[in-house]
């Protein structure tokens, strides 16, 4: 049974609670043991790394050091933003000089011996597709899905080292495996506007609007994401976007773990569909019932 240190990330405790719970649930179901990193702290995201790279890296390094003290070398996080920070920190620490600067700020020095991956990568690379297939109880037959990866999970390639940086397929393959009809989504790695939601809503409206528009164009019943921020911009702000762009999108935006959990027949409570702003029932309704699917 595969064992990885688990870094939930702050949004996993708040805005994307359902991402965290569903992630834990599907990993459990797929025999991937997630061991919480004791006393994990902020990854040094936007606020820190826009001001001070060493400090930001130190925040990440602290968590990596924690993993090392757990005696583990592999960590996973659902959040691409956390992933970027953790990996970037490790990448920069390959330079011994930088590493020393960072460790100067830490009580427990970081050996930089941990490889952090997205949960998606762990599932895509370490879990046998046949195993997943075997565990599917409710195939997603009938629903059309556009997979949206977000701009940072695969980029920059030399740091992230996962999938294709312009045209990733990991989620597409996973969803196809679950029986969903995956539509070719051209804007897989486009920016959703990210944290500009607060200072410059209009930017998010334009960028996320374009994503929803593209989703509609390719006839997607739903968009599937792997990023809390993307999900929030597309889902929570869909109403704002409609107002701003005189549109009337009604595209539910799932976390891939939610649909995966659905297919694996995991208890709804852990998947937290009710937390979605855009009502997913219509989309989920398109999924043919198993007996019909058979």
Partner 1 sequence: MRIGVFICHCGSNIAGTVDCPSVAATALTYPDVVFSTDTMYACSEPGQDAIIQAVKDKNLDGVVVASCTPRMHEQTFRRAVERAGLNRYMFEMANIREHVSWIGKTKDLNTGKAAELVRMAVEKLRRNRPLVAKRFETVKRVLVIGGGVAGIQAALDCADGGQEVVLVEREQSIGGKMAKLDKTFPTVDCSSCVLGPKMVDIAQHPNITLYTCSEVESVGGYVGNFQVTVRRKSTYVDWTKCTGCGLCVEKCPSRKHPDPFNENLCNAPSINIPFPQAIPKKAAINASSCLMLTKGKCGLCAKVCPVKCIDFEQKDELVNVDVGAIVVATGYDLFDWHKYPQYGEGRYKDVITSMQYERLLSASGPTGGHIKRPSDGKEPKNVVFIQCVGSRDKSVDRPYCSGFCCMYTAKQAILTKDHIPDSQSYVFYMDIRSPGKMYDEFTRRAMEEYGAQYVRGRVAMIYPKGDKLVVRGADTLAGTQVEVPADLVVLAVGAESAKGAVQLGEKLRVAPDQYGFFVESHPKLKPVETNTAGVFLAGACQGPKDIPASVGQGSAAASKVLGLLSKAMLESDPAVSRVNPARCVGCGKCIQTCPFGAIKEIQDRFGNPKAEVIDTVCQGCGICTVTCPQGAIQLEHFTDNQILAEVNALCPPKMFANFE
Contacting residues toward partner 1, per CB under 8 A: 164-167, 184, 186-187, 214, 217
Smallest gap from Cβ 157 to partner 1, in A, equals 10
Q: In whole angstroms, what is the distance from residue 262 CA to residue 151 CA?
A: 26
Place of tokens 């208890």: 267
Smallest gap from Cβ 166 to partner 1, in A, equals 4
> For residues 162 and 273, which CB has a smaller minimum distance to partner 1 in the complex?
162
> For residues 68 and 190, which CB has a smaller minimum distance to partner 1 in the complex?
190
Q: In whole angstroms, what is the distance from residue 25 CA to residue 228 CA?
A: 17
> For residues 15 and 167, which CB has a smaller minimum distance to partner 1 in the complex?
167
Q: In whole angstroms, what is the distance from residue 227 CA to residue 240 CA?
A: 20
> For residues 43 and 251, which CB has a smaller minimum distance to partner 1 in the complex?
251
Residue 148: strand, helix, or coil: strand
Q: Is the dihedral of CA 272, 80, 119, 181 positive or negative?
A: positive
Smallest gap from Cβ 160 to partner 1, in A, equals 14
- Of the candidates 190, 194, 191, the one whose C-alpha atom is nearest the C-alpha of residue 166 is 190
* Helix extents (H) in the chain: 17-29, 46-49, 53-69, 80-93, 96-104, 119-126, 129-135, 157-160, 170-177, 201-217, 228-231, 238-245, 256-263, 268-271, 281-285, 290-293
Smallest gap from Cβ 233 to partner 1, in A, equals 19
Smallest gap from Cβ 103 to partner 1, in A, equals 34
> For residues 202 and 217, which CB has a smaller minimum distance to partner 1 in the complex?
217
> For residues 103 and 225, which CB has a smaller minimum distance to partner 1 in the complex?
225
Smallest gap from Cβ 47 to partner 1, in A, equals 26
Helices (H) and strands (E) in the chain, counts: 16, 8
How are strands ordered across the β-sheet holding 253-255? 181-182, 144-148, 222-225, 253-255
């Amino acid at each position: 049974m595969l064992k990885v240190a688990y870094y939930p990330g702050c949004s996993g405790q708040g805005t994307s609670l359902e991402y965290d719970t569903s992630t834990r649930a599907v990993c459990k179901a797929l025999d991937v043991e997630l061991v919480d990193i004791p006393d994990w702290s902020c990854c040094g995201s936007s606020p820190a790394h826009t001001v001070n790279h060493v400090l930001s890296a130190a925040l990440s390094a602290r968590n990596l050091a924690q993993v090392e003290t757990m005696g583990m070398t592999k960590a996973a996080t659902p959040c691409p933003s956390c992933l970027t920070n953790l990996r970037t920190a490790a990448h920069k620490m390959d330079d011994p000089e930088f590493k020393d600067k960072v460790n100067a700020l830490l009580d427990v020095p970081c050996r930089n011996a941990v490889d952090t991956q997205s949960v998606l990568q762990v599932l895509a690379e370490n879990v046998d597709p046949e195993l997943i297939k075997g565990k599917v109880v409710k195939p997603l037959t009938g629903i059309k899905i556009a997979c949206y990866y977000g701009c940072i999970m695969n980029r920059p390639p030399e740091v992230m080292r996962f999938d294709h940086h312009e045209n990733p397929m990991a989620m597409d393959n996973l969803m196809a495996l679950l029986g969903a009809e995956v539509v070719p989504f051209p804007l897989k790695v486009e920016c959703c506007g990210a944290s500009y939601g607060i200072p410059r809503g209009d930017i998010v409206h334009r960028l996320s609007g374009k994503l929803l528009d593209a989703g509609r164009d390719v006839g997607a019943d739903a968009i599937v994401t792997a990023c809390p921020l993307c999900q929030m911009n597309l889902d929570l702000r869909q109403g704002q976007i409609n107002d701003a762009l005189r549109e009337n999108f009604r595209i539910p935006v799932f976390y891939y773990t939610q649909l995966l959990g659905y297919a694996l027949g995991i208890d709804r409570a852990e998947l937290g569909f009710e937390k979605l702003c855009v009502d997913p029932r219509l989309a989920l309704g398109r999924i043919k019932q198993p007996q019909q699917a058979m």
